[in-house]
Amino acid sequence: MTKRLVQGNEAVLLGAVKAGANYFAGYPISPSSEILAQASVYASKNPDFRFLQAEDEIASVNAILGASLAGAKSFTATSGPGFSLMQEAVGYGHKVGIPCVIVNVMRVGPGTGMPTMPGQGDLNQTRYGSSGDYTSIVFYPSTVAECFEYAVAAFNAAEESRSPVILLSDAFLGHLNEVVDLDAIEVSVVPRTLEPLASGSTRLFSGVATYADGEPATADSDEYIRQYEESRLNRLDVASRYNCFEYGWNKDSDTLVVAFGITRRIAQPLSPHFALFRPIRIWPTLDKELIEVAERYKKIVVIEGSDGQYANVVERMLFRRVERVPLLGGRMSLEAIREGLDRIGLLPIEPLESGAGSPAQADGSASAVG
Amino acid sequence: MAVKDKLKTDLFPTIWCPGCGIGLIMQQLASVMDDLGLDKKNTVLITGIGCTGRMGAYMNFESVYTLHGRTLPVAEAIKTVRPELNVIVVSGDGDMSSIGGNHLLHSIRRNPNITVLCNNNEIYGLTGGQTGPTTPQGIATISSPSGSAFAPINLQGVVNTSPNSYYAKTTVYHQGPMRKAIKEAIEWPGFAFVDIASQCIENNGRRIGFSSANDMLQNYRTQYKAAPAGSTQLDSHQLGIVKGEPATVVGKSTAGSGE
């Protein structure tokens, strides 16, 4: 039982190792590069853990797909631009059915953007980044302890769904240092589910639409629909074992704040004035859970590091307009949130006596697992 | 016959056009696999996108039909995790050196113990016949109707940037030497690349003046000559093998210092 200072990115790596990861391929990109560097150090001390700094993100993501087929629990880590490069492979992983984890420590985009500034603008990319239809499972922690816990969850969900699961983080959370006792965090690990290559069968792992025997099914819509439905229902079924969210703060308030990742931490001083719904599983959306909570509130405000990517999703989930506080250009601070709330007339009037609005402990995790 | 055990003959006839050169490669590969005792428990195939990529489905092995250009990262990772497996990449010239070119450059540096068979038909056949990275300059294709604008890539040069690699140039007409090259490449300790000139009559040959697949095969017979023994570099239209230093520790290139 050792409490020590742990960095968010470090916790992701340690969580991966705890989950049994034994192959990492990656490419340096701020603000995720600590994961690459620490994976390299870990590999030098643990010969069964294989490490590759590949020539680019495309090689990295394809390498982890190959490594997984060969029998390894594999992962990579990147940020927005690198994640964009990986999209074709994400779709391939879904189509073929390959368990692996992709960590995206988000920064401000688009393009090369602001490499060291926090953003949350990749949400849609994690759901729709690749071409075609597929069902992503995506987690986004808010604390260093959760970075560890949800890294394990991501590997577990990857095994259960046989798909590339995305673990989100951001420039602030990745570099946040908190005192945690990782050994005290109870996790269970799902063992490898996919039979490794060359076990005696002659399977064809094909990105192209095929029948079970390997013949191309590139003109058979019925076969496509059959395979797609099976995959979609499987993903939703796996996701339903991870109904991870937080509902808290002042539940008697008449306004619900929806916030996630580092934003939830930054907004903590506002907790006396608002209720909070924090999705930890970003995709598939927590429709049932949010609908039930949202019913109780006259107003809903989504505070996020993008121009309304999750706000749009919430509106679709609830068929109801929401207020928005976008935190753009990396300006993710309590002051920016207060300015945003003020602009829409939701800035709480602080009582004169002390206590309200003081920075509360960022204990974060009240993750209610359904 | 044991060679037939390497093929999924119940899926024949194959999807390839009559006169395609790919089947000639598959035939010799199956034969070499039989010789060397390669089977579904000790060997995996990695195929790229293009007509060549279909080969995996027709062989009695586990195979990974990758994204376009990405056979090498997939193959290397498989070899890293399962060093006991024979990992054979079968891909086309575009998949290997155009979209896959960057990976080729870097796989060479890392010298993984994998074998690459490149079906080099100097065209993008599956998509109808566009210019490829190995299409000779001046050849008319459906994306270069006035003749391909640029010089082709120097595949031999790229592969031989590694001092430890094996490079063979052969053609599907030269069945004996091709078979020998495939066998040596599989046995080579490190990165081995067999560059196989192969005909695409349907989406290339018939547009540039060849009357039949056989016409193209006969052209390989007359146009390609064996390089003098001991050649360290092959000229264009020379057939031969250029061997680097076999790496003493596979997976470590001797290029550069301290690697």
Residues of A whose CB is below 8 A from B103: 55, 59
Which pairs count as long-range contacts for A292-297, CB under 8 Å and 24+ apart, including other chains? A293/A247, A293/A256, A294/A256, A294/A318, A294/A320, A296/A251, A296/A256, A297/A253, A297/A254, A297/A255, A297/A256
Q: How far is A36 from chain B (nearest CA, A)?
A: 17
pLDDT band for A355, please (50, 70, 90 cuts): low
Angle at which helix B71-81 crosses helix B101-110, to 10 degrees, equals: 30
Find the range with the poorest average confidence among A178-187, A190-199, A360-369, B18-27: A360-369
Q: How many CA atoms lie within 13 A of B198 on its CB side?
A: 28
Q: Is a pLDDT exceeding 80 seen at residue A361? A: no
Determine contact, residues B14/B58, Cβ cutoff 8 Å.
yes
**Inter-chain contacts counted by CB atoms under 8 A, chains A and B:** 123
- pLDDT above 70 covers a percentage of chain A that reads 94
A204-220: per-residue pLDDT in tens?
999 999 998 888 999 99
Tokens 């673990």 belong to A167
CB proximity under 8 Å: B 100-139 to A: 102-103, 105-106
pLDDT single digits (tens) B120-139: 999 999 999 999 999 999 99
Q: How far is CA A255 from its chain centroid? A: 26
Q: Does A366 contact B at CB distance below 8 Å?
A: no
Tens-place pLDDT, residues A15-68: 999 999 999 999 999 999 999 999 999 999 999 999 999 999 999 999 999 999
Domains and their CATH numbers in chain A: 4-184 (3.40.50.970), 244-369 (3.40.50.920)
Instruction: Decide yes or no: CATH 3.40.190.10 for domain B2-229.
Output: no
Q: Domains of chain B: which residue ranges? A: 2-229
Q: Under a CB-based contact definition with an 8 Å cutoff, are residues A214 and A204 in contact?
A: yes
Write the ipTM: 0.95
Q: Mean pLDDT score of chain A, rounded to an integer?
A: 95
Q: DSSP letters along B112-152, please?
A: -S-EEEEEE-SSBTTTTSB--TTSPTT--BTTBTT---SPP
Residues of chain B positioned with their CB less than 8 A from the CB of A66: 46, 64, 73-78, 81
Using an 8 Å CB-CB cutoff, list chain B residues near A207.
Answer: 65-67
Interchain contact, B81 vs A201, CB within 8 Å = no
Give pLDDT, residue B254.
56
Please tell me the predicted confidence (pLDDT) of residue B256: 44
Which whole number is the average pLDDT over A136-155?
Answer: 98
CA distance B214 to chain A (A): 28
pLDDT of residue A85: 98
- pLDDT band at residue A367 using 50, 70 and 90 as cut-offs: very low
Q: Which helix (H) or strand (E) holds A150?
A: helix A144-161
